[in-house]
Structure 1
Amino acid sequence: MKIAAVVVIYHPDESLLYRNIKAFADCVDTIIIWRNSLEDNFDYLDEWRSKILFMGSGHNEYMAKPLNRVMDYCVSERYDYLLTMDQDSCWENFAGFVSVVEALPKDGSVAVYAPNVNHYLKDESVDYEDIEWVIQSGMLLDLRVVKPYGGFREDYGIYGVDEEFCYWLRLHGKKVRSFTHFHLKQRYGNARKSWLGFYVYDYSPVVRYFLIRNMIWMKREFKDSTITRRIVHVFLLNVRDIVLVENHKVAKLLKLFQGVQHGLFRPIAKRGLVSV
């Protein structure tokens, strides 16, 4: 079971990135660090230097493109699995997770193996659930299964690339399997509790743009992928957070409304079904 891991970084917190990598480093053969920002000091990762491969130009190429380039590399180098990670995540017992995945029968039906992110799965009486989608961080991709389906949508950029990819795989009969007893802690944005009692994530204007645009694009392309009420709910929550709590209100609102406009009216390049 040959495993590569990729962490896409953008001005990372060094201590958090160290803990992130330490949690899985001993269980993978190669650690690929994709640089979306110009970092020049990685001395704090020296204990894994023999395993680390740096990729990326240092310019922000978002999320989907780096993942696809790394996937291509891993297929060419005959890796069996690719673990995809954000810089703001941390595994609990990745070794146990790998052992369970390795012991399962491989009939080609499961494309993505995933942890229980922030204790999302509540029913501890079951070992796993096959669910609609999981976040990109913590995905263990069976490269033999996923590669024929074209990878992540690069025109989505950042937000929703994981949800769309999972939907696309399930549309072709593949499963997304999340394991109840193996956990990953994920930090979303710059989460903080507001003076009004609710949490805000303080996403940047560009993330706000991709967030709403890509939800609309996915709904336009795949009518049953999500419900309109969910998109409206997410939009209104973002307006509330920006207007009532966050800074840089004008820039964020402009990008959010631009995301709605482009989501509704810009042409989209649709996927074509794959025969395998």
Structure 2
Amino acid sequence: MLGLVTLYNPNPQEASENIKRYIHDIDKLIIWDNSPIEANIKQQVIDLMTDEKDHIVWHGDGQNKCIAPAINFAWEYAKEQGYDLLLIMDQDSHWANFSFYREKVEHYYLTGNKWTFVPYIAGNDNWVIFNEVHFKRVFINSGTIIPIEILNAIDGADETFALDALDHDLAIRIQKAGYQIACITCCMLYHTVGHPKRSRFLNLFTNDYGRERTYSIAKTHLIKYRKHKSWFTAYEKRKIFKEYYMWKLIRIIFAEEDKLGRLKMLIKGIWDGMNYDLKKTKR
């Protein structure tokens, strides 16, 4: 099992502690550092992980290339080095018990189940657990374990979705290729998204993303919708509109700062998403 974690201006102490929760249960970890060179993240993290440094391949050139290029880099590395599985991690995620998760994944994988594996996400998954394996239609990147043969089948990540909507696009393409996404419900991952806060007015919850992320989310989720329109159910189509556009507009107006700037980026993202050439995407 090869691991991949992406970093962007992390708290070095927290990032290293999160990594230590799983690094000894995988064979190698690629740390893809999107932070600027002057932040000196590599030295700070490595200094906190002296016992683990032999397990690490560090990649960073000072540019923020987000997640999709990192996945494709790890996929190529995995093929060259003969790995079977790729674990994708976020810097803000931490495991309750990764050893148990790997044990479960290996059991199902080695008995012939060529699934993409995901854990139960604390605070995000809110459905009632009945079985150890629950098949899902979408996942978040962090905690996902994808067999290399599945990445081969879908030709890796679509870099149209460098960050936002990448997980949904991957999940849909995996299923279109004939594979299933299996949530191992007894394995839990704790994951933080953005900088969550609640407004005093209407008690609205928001991840409080700035202008660039507001633009990216609006654009890429619209491209995702156009690309996979026939795959979505009517309920899922309504959910996309409500979550990424209607509620985002309400959150900007009533719960977020920089209202005018973010409204402009929301509108620009919608416009660019509507006019994006779908021929540039991977099917």
TM-score (norm 2): 0.90
CA contact (8 A) 1:83 1:141 kept: yes
- d(CA) in 2 for partners of 1:4, 1:228: 35
**What amino acid is the match of 2:31?**
I
Q: Out of 23, 26, 41, which is 2:24 matched to?
A: 26
Partner residue, 1:90:
94
CA contact (8 A) 1:89 1:185 kept: yes
CA contact (8 A) 1:109 1:175 kept: no
Instruction: Indicate yes or no: 2:108 matched with 1:101.
Output: no
Partner residue, 1:260:
270
- d(CA) in 1 for partners of 2:5, 2:217: 21
Offset of 1:51 from its aligned partner? 0.9
**What amino acid is the match of 1:20?**
N
- d(CA) in 1 for partners of 2:251, 2:282: 37
**What amino acid is the match of 2:77?**
Y
| Corresponding residue SS for 1:184 | strand
Unaligned runs of 5+ in 1: none
CA contact (8 A) 2:158 2:282 kept: no
The C-alpha deviation readout for 1:18-54, integer Å capped at 9, x for no partner, is: 2210211110111111011124222122231111110
Q: Out of 71, 74, 89, which is 1:70 matched to?
A: 74
Partner residue, 1:110:
114
CA contact (8 A) 1:121 1:180 kept: no
Deviates more, 1:224-233 or 1:148-157: 224-233
Partner residue, 1:58:
62
| Corresponding residue SS for 1:110 | coil
Partner residue, 1:133:
138
CA contact (8 A) 1:108 1:145 kept: no
Offset of 1:111 from its aligned partner? 3.7
Partner residue, 1:233:
242
Partner residue, 1:215:
221
CA contact (8 A) 1:221 1:270 kept: no
Offset of 1:6 from its aligned partner? 0.9
Q: Percent of aligned positions with the same letter in both sequences?
A: 23
CA contact (8 A) 2:109 2:115 kept: no
Offset of 1:266 from its aligned partner? 2.4
Q: Out of 12, 15, 18, which is 1:14 matched to?
A: 12
Offset of 1:124 from its aligned partner? 3.0
Instruction: Indicate yes or no: 2:160 matched with 1:151.
Output: no
Which runs of at least 4 in structure 1 moved beyond 4 Å after TM superposition? 105-109, 270-273
TM-score (norm 1): 0.92
- d(CA) in 1 for partners of 2:268, 2:94: 33
**What amino acid is the match of 1:34?**
W
CA separation of 1:166/1:108 partners in 2, compared to 1, >3 Å: closer, same or farther?
Answer: farther
| Corresponding residue SS for 2:51 | helix
CA contact (8 A) 1:192 1:200 kept: yes
CA separation of 1:157/1:98 partners in 2, compared to 1, >3 Å: closer, same or farther?
Answer: same
CA contact (8 A) 1:111 1:146 kept: no
**Structure (1/2) with the larger helix percentage:** 2
**What amino acid is the match of 1:7?**
V
| Corresponding residue SS for 1:50 | helix
CA separation of 1:272/1:13 partners in 2, compared to 1, >3 Å: closer, same or farther?
Answer: closer
- What pairs with 1:33-44 in structure 2 (closer than 5 Å)? 33-38=31-36, 39-40=39-40, 41-42=44-45, 43-44=47-48
CA contact (8 A) 1:209 1:255 kept: yes
Deviates more, 1:206-215 or 1:156-165: 206-215
The C-alpha deviation readout for 1:141-162, integer Å capped at 9, x for no partner, is: 1112322211111011210111
CA separation of 1:221/1:122 partners in 2, compared to 1, >3 Å: closer, same or farther?
Answer: closer
The C-alpha deviation readout for 1:126-178, integer Å capped at 9, x for no partner, is: 10111101100111111123222111110112101111111011011101111
Instruction: Indicate yes or no: 2:161 matched with 1:169.
Output: no
When the two structures are aligned, how many residues end up with a matched partner?
271
Offset of 1:198 from its aligned partner? 2.3
